A and B are shown apart, each in its own frame.
Chain A
């Protein structure tokens, strides 16, 4: 890899995380989860992946394979606010696709690829203010349809209430 190295502070943090996890089952997942969680843009830059591979003695291809296999990991910077729409069965039967379409329209986002293939979506607005994601299921099915806005769960959402949430974020400190 030709990516540049992470800065010393970042390196120190990653070293600590690795020390905590190494040698235990599920170590690589744990390391990637923790490192991504601390990044201000909630993603794993390539140089960080490279550094983790070197430090843990894991083949670079395997680290990249894991980082791209699991839905939780992002290789692109995420928006400051995340809106996550549940695409579980209960939410689907209660209209979550319409919510997703509406939200994309509202934020001016378009997904590439075929129409309707809304699987594992993650889209960020150009100003990096909003990221729209989908999740397979939050396990909040009794509250369907469910939307998570900045890690708070909202149940029985409809297009109006979703729009109100978005407006509220937009008016918050002009961010």
Chain B
């Protein structure tokens, strides 16, 4: 059915609420890729069979990931009037007793991770119920303490394949409001006042970027969602799409209306098949309900969204390379200006924003910029989703206010190193970022502070390294990556990274003379200062930061009598004596 007015809207909302908080128990299985990789599908079928066998009156739904990926498969169980309980590491043979407990109105305590009594979706407020004093509230669990889920407001709770459930928690209301008000300039002022910055890494003010495109005059304008999340060690966008695709669509439709574009494109990695699948579904449903296509919500606005699957090229995360790729060419960037806002896809004005940026739009429009700036630091408002992975006890997706110190991530949320080992550094920003040593963990995580240390926020990857990790090898690993992903268009990046990789190879096999430290530093700065696009300009960061903060590790792996030969061969599982000396 097509939604044409507020009456139709409310009907869909009621239908969604009857599924999200029904008058009967609801069981929701975390079916993101992290869940299915841990056997969530088997759990889902076990629940379906058992509910059927018992003739039980219960609602069963797939949801995305609630964030604590290391504890998958996650299962939410809810009985009307009671808190929602999140169970962790659920196996098919637990299903029977979980259902017994649910029928007896008691939580399955040994599997319970936390409970949720109320949930603020920001676009709506849901009260699940009170009780179960023996189970900790979600924000009392160390992994969730301090987290504020604005972007991930629906992830792991709402069925991503069901538009009605998204509407039930206030979805598409912001779009409705924007279309009814019909004052695009006001929306842009709101986004500007909210100081929302691009979540893809560069941190440019989204409102300003939108204004550029709004002011551009052309017969056709494009807006693009960059979902080509190529940073190794980062998977925020995958989870955001898998868990809540409509939030992305809503942001884009609002953007399309406000900027005067009629075509939207989502460029998504082909390596994320589930995300692609969920997006296809979401676009189909949104079209069916009259939220995409012609005459959206009966307000005379036309907007379409197409999906394009990227084919595995890291450089296509760079906006001009992405546009080249959409035009059917190899993904090679061009020098800016002209910026895409002036001359982008097929020469038309184009706006490109990251998935997470789009997901922030609806809450800002609903709650206003003043609410948004309450969270985060003065220059960087709001939250950022990080993937906390590597050698840390708790791994998963973490959404924290910007400006949170790094140590909170590693020691509070992550609960320190794996198996009690000493954490040595955190790598932020993937191949464009840098390594921050343990003694600088007081640094607040925002755009400026990380840049000061030679790293970047990037898209939000946070890889923890411990005493067993050799920092020279880490630097080499990233150069190996950018070396192979360099598009080859400009000389500093193409030739410089090759030279850099050879020098780092010499370090890891112990054949580098000490002098090459200076050459490596000089080479790094040259690549950074003279490359054409973001890939080359930031590629030396991992090397420059490790040389700055872990110089001694380079020194003991170079020069006469260098003992590093072993650390190259045995790394990372069998730390040789030499590696131990690195710490």
Whether the pair A92, B331 counts as a contact (CB closer than 8 A) is no
Minimum C-beta distance from B199 to chain A (A): 16
**A94 CB contacts on chain B under 8 angstroms:** 390-391, 572
B37 touches A140 (CB 8 A): yes
Query: 1/0 per residue B472-483: CB within 8 Å of A?
Result: 001001101101
Docked CA distance A118–B345 (Å): 34
Looking at A21-29, A103-111, A167-175, the stretch in contact with chain B turns out to be A21-29
Q: Interface residue tally of chain A, by bracket?
A: 35 or more
Q: Does A93 contact B469, Cβ atoms closer than 8 Å? A: yes
Is B395 on the interface with A (CB-CB < 8 A)? yes
User: Contact at B233–A95, with CB atoms within 8 Å?
Assistant: no
Q: Which residues of B contact A66 (CB under 8 A)?
A: 328-330
B396 on the interface (CB 8 Å rule)? yes
Supposing A89-B427, A95-B572, A139-B229 touch, asked if A65 and B308 sit within 8 A by C-beta, the answer is: no
* Contact (Cβ within 8 A) A26 B328: yes
The interface of chain B, by Cβ under 8 A from chain A, is 33-34, 36-38, 69-70, 72, 222, 229-235, 238, 265, 267, 269-272, 306, 308-314, 325-331, 345-346, 387, 389-391, 395-396, 427, 430, 461, 463-465, 469, 474, 477-478, 480-481, 483-485, 487, 501, 505, 508, 572-573
Q: How far is the CA of A120 from the CA of B484 in the complex (A)?
A: 7
Residues B232 and A137 in contact, CB atoms below 8 Å apart: yes
Distance A146 CA – B34 CA, assembled complex (angstroms): 11
Interface-located stretch among A9-17, A70-78, A123-131: A70-78
Main secondary structure of the interface of A (DSSP, over half): loop
| Minimal beta-carbon separation of B36 from chain A (angstroms) | 8
Q: How far is the CB of A44 from chain B (nearest CB, A)?
A: 11
A-B contact count (CB 8 A): 167
Known contacts A88-B232, A137-B234, then 5 further A-B pairs from the complex at CB < 8 Å, ordered by chain A residue:
A65-B329, A70-B313, A95-B573, A117-B501, A143-B69
Q: Residue of B at shortest CB range from A142?
A: B69
Name B238's contact: one of A24, A139, A143 (CB within 8 Å).
A139
* Complex: A65 Cα to B327 Cα, angstroms: 13
Chain A nearest CB, measured from B469 CB (Å): 6
CB neighbours of B306 from chain A (8 A): 24-26
Given A135-B271, A154-B37, answer yes or no on A89-B232 (Cβ-Cβ < 8 Å): yes
Q: Are A73 and B326 in contact (CB under 8 A)?
A: no
A93 touches B465 (CB 8 A): yes
Complex CA–CA separation, A91 to B572 (angstroms): 11
Query: In chain A between 112 and 171, which residues have their CB closer than 8 angstroms to a CB of chain B?
Result: 114, 116-120, 135-144, 146, 153-155
| Contact B481 A26, beta carbon cutoff 8 Å | no
Q: How far is the CB of B534 from chain A (nearest CB, A)?
A: 16
A58 within 8 A of B: yes
B-chain residues with CB within 8 Å of residue A155 when the two chains form the complex: 37-38
Q: Is the CB of B230 within 8 A of A136?
A: yes
CB-CB nearest in chain A for B229: A139
Beyond A69-B331, A95-B573, A140-B235, whether A26 also contacts B37 by CB under 8 A is no
Could you jot down 11 A-B contacts, CB within 8 Å?
A25-B346, A29-B308, A89-B232, A93-B464, A98-B572, A117-B501, A119-B481, A139-B235, A142-B389, A144-B389, A153-B36
Residues of chain B contacted by A90 (CB below 8 angstroms): 232-233, 389-390, 395, 463
Q: Is the CB of A72 within 8 A of B37?
A: no
**Residues of B contacting A141 with CB < 8 Å?**
233-235, 387, 389-390, 395, 461, 463
